[in-house]
Amino acid sequence: MINISGTLTRDAIVSTTPTGKEVVNFSIAVNDHYRDKDGNRVERTTFIDCAYWVTAKAAEWLVKGLYVQVFGDLSVRAWLDKDGKARAGINFHTWAIDPVGRFGKKEAQTVQASTAQTSKEPVTVGDDDNLPF
């Protein structure tokens, strides 16, 4: 099991497989930094495509800008783009999603906890005074 924290880069979308199974697809950006040999801070962002198979209802609150912690397994994929250039990407098969907060907005946003969580109550994020811990 791996846990990754990042910001959603777009609103989640629900796709349906040919067998009728629904999957929620979303992408998160994970920001990191390091110092180069000259001591300069270098920022980098890694984009990770996520697939969540537990419930399609998660797409209702998985919106661009939401900071989440996701739990699951990584896999790597490779393909040729339309120009024949080799490409690679990271897939994250998500078991559970923990909405942490929304950056860039001052107002609080209420999100529904996923069915993978033990609490069925809405969690209010974005206001530090209302954190559930």
How high is the pLDDT of residue 119? 41
How high is the pLDDT of residue 81? 94
| Per-residue pLDDT tens digits for 26-40 | 999 999 999 999 999
| Structure-derived torsion over alpha carbons of residues 30, 28, 70, 67, reported in degrees to the nearest 10 | 80
3-state helix vs strand vs coil in the chain, percent to 5: 5, 55, 40
Better pLDDT: 59 or 103: 59
How high is the pLDDT of residue 108? 33
Least confident of 7-11, 25-29, 71-75, 105-109: 105-109
Query: Which residue type occupies 18?
Result: P
How high is the pLDDT of residue 89? 84
Find the mean pLDDT for residues 105-114. Answer: 38
| Per-residue pLDDT tens digits for 67-78 | 999 999 998 889
Residue 21's pLDDT band (boundaries 50, 70, 90)? very high
How high is the pLDDT of residue 90? 80
Helices and strands counted in the chain (H then E): 0, 8
Token pair recorded at residue 68? 């989440």
